[in-house]
């Protein structure tokens, strides 16, 4: 049986409005179909449904009321979309034809909810969830989300079953997002992270360690953060650290106009938002200078001090004289050079210290994959 709802009226604030008002007398039986061409006000249980509930027409449909409706299969073919003022649960399949299910981003508790084993087909730029989508009791899931104009999915692959996870895409600047309750300083980051996207981000909630796959396109303007697509990384705003963190890359493909990446494992609830960034180049991370060492006991430049080495946990320092002879070497340098040699090479007058003059240094920060060279002047 196909129930085709054209018009039902109810009174609200003395005005007649078009809507279906459910007080508990509707149920869709097996093989049954119901087509909504008007808004649904659901003030009673509307669950244990089978069959198909479709949203059709060319006028915006609103789903509201005190109870969340729960459908077995659902479908949208309405180019003006379906506005969710309350949530909507789906047990089995959601078929996207045309139009968006729209949930209010400032109210993330209102979302389109995929129950255990639920899935979707047909999502595209013209038909998706514009706002928050939730998933229950699934380990791997592709959130069919985006904004008004584009489909921007996030693929969640978890190490265990998610009791609940939720995600939305924001085409907004993280430093001043109009529909997100928090702002994010793009400068609060370690030196190993370069530029961070000011174009878009995802908000993902989940308590299970997972990887995510996200993609970029021409609208993402990746060229603004890097000139090499192979330098793109996913970053998340750490809630506890109040700064950006590199989430790691396990897969990466594409160019500056289109591509995708997959992150390393992380717990979504540890991060407020996720977006794209670039790996900082050595020049962006730090620049080492030439140095002066004057070991005369006055407390000024008595030893070689390179504060940037504190960023590395696996570094080496080597110092050579002007003839290329290694005079000093230290792993994980801790301000040990005071003008005396420590190498096994033949050093003249080793006990009185190295002579004044220009020396050449080499530094390797192995954990950061960085190498530097420069000069130091030793003055006695």
Q: For residue 192, what pLDDT is reported?
A: 81
Any residues with CB less than 8 A from the CB of 347 and at least 6 apart, and which?
325, 327, 341, 354
CA 200 to chain centre: 9
Q: How far is CA 320 from the centre of its chain?
A: 45
Q: Which helix (H) or strand (E) holds 279?
A: strand 271-279
Contact 65, 41 (CB under 8 A): yes
Residue 251, both tokens: 């897969």
Rounded Cα distance between 273 and 171, Å, is: 12
pTM score, whole prediction: 0.76
d(CA 58, CA 82): 10
Coil, strand or helix: which one is 51? Answer: coil
CA neighbor of 197 nearest in space, from 167, 171, 178, 166:
171
Token pair for residue 79?
Answer: 């180019």
User: Domains of the chain: which residue ranges?
Assistant: 2-282, 286-378
What is the fold, at CATH topology level, of the domain defined by 286-378? Immunoglobulin-like (2.60.40)
- Would you state the torsion angle of the CA atoms of residues 98, 102, 105, 106, taken in this order, to the nearest 10 degrees? 160
Neighbours of 105 (CB within 10 A): 22
Q: Report the length, in residues, of the chain.
A: 380
Tokens linked to 40: 């649904």
Q: What DSSP assignment string belongs to 64-101?
A: ESSS--EESEEEEEETT-EEESS-EEESSEEEEEES-E
CA neighbor of 75 nearest in space, from 103, 101, 102, 54: 54
343-371 residues labelled b (16+ CB within 10 A) or e (exposed) = eeeebeeeeeebeeeebebebbbeebebe
231 phi, psi to nearest 5 deg: -95, 5
Dihedral through CA 203, CA 237, CA 258, CA 75, nearest 10?
A: -10
- 79, 96 Cβ separation under 8 angstroms: no
Q: Please state the φ and ψ torsions of residue 99, each to the nearest 5 degrees.
A: 100, 160
Tens of pLDDT along the chain (380 residues) come to: 334 333 333 333 334 457 888 887 788 999 899 999 999 999 999 999 999 999 999 999 999 999 999 999 999 999 999 999 999 999 999 999 999 999 999 999 999 999 999 999 999 999 999 999 999 999 999 999 999 999 999 999 999 999 999 999 999 999 999 999 999 999 999 878 999 999 999 999 999 999 999 999 999 999 999 999 999 999 999 999 999 999 999 999 999 999 999 999 999 999 999 999 998 865 566 678 899 999 999 999 999 999 888 878 899 999 999 888 999 999 999 999 999 999 988 777 778 899 999 999 999 988 877 888 899 999 98
């Amino acid at each position: 049986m196909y129930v085709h709802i054209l018009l039902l009226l109810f009174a609200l604030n003395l005005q007649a409005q078009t809507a279906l008002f459910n007080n508990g007398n509707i149920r869709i039986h097996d093989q049954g179909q119901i087509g909504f061409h008007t808004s649904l006000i659901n003030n009673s249980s509307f669950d244990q449904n089978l069959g198909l509930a479709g949203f059709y027409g060319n006028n915006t449909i609103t789903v509201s009321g005190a109870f969340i409706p729960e459908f077995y299969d659902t479908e949208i073919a309405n180019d003006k979309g379906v506005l969710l003022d309350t949530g909507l649960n789906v047990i089995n399949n959601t078929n996207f034809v045309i139009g968006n299910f729209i949930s209010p981003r400032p109210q993330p508790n209102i979302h389109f909810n995929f129950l255990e084993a639920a899935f979707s087909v047909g999502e595209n730029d013209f038909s998706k969830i514009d706002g928050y989508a939730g998933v229950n009791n699934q380990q791997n899931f592709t959130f069919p989300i985006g904004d008004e104009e584009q489909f921007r999915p996030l693929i969640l692959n978890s190490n265990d079953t998610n009791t609940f996870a939720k995600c939305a895409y924001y085409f907004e600047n993280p430093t001043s997002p109009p529909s997100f309750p928090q702002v994010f300083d793009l400068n609060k980051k370690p030196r190993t992270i370069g530029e961070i996207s000011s174009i878009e981000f995802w908000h993902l909630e989940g308590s299970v360690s997972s990887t995510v796959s996200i993609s970029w396109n021409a609208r993402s303007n990746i060229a603004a953060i890097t000139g090499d697509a192979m330098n793109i990384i996913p970053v998340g705003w750490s809630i506890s650290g109040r700064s950006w963190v590199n989430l790691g890359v396990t897969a990466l493909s594409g160019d500056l106009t289109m591509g995708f990446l997959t992150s390393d494992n992380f717990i979504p609830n540890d991060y407020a938002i996720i977006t794209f960034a670039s790996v900082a180049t050595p020049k962006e991370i730090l620049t080492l200078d030439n140095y002066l060492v004057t070991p005369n006991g006055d407390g000024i430049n008595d030893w070689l001090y390179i504060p940037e080495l504190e960023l590395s946990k696996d570094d080496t320092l080597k110092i050579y004289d002007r003839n290329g002879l290694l005079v000093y070497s230290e792993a994980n340098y801790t301000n040990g050079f005071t003008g005396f040699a420590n190498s096994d090479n033949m050093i003249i007058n080793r006990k009185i210290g190295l002579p004044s003059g220009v020396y050449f240094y080499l530094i390797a920060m192995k954990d950061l994959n960085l190498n530097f060279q420069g000069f130091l002047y030793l003055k006695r």
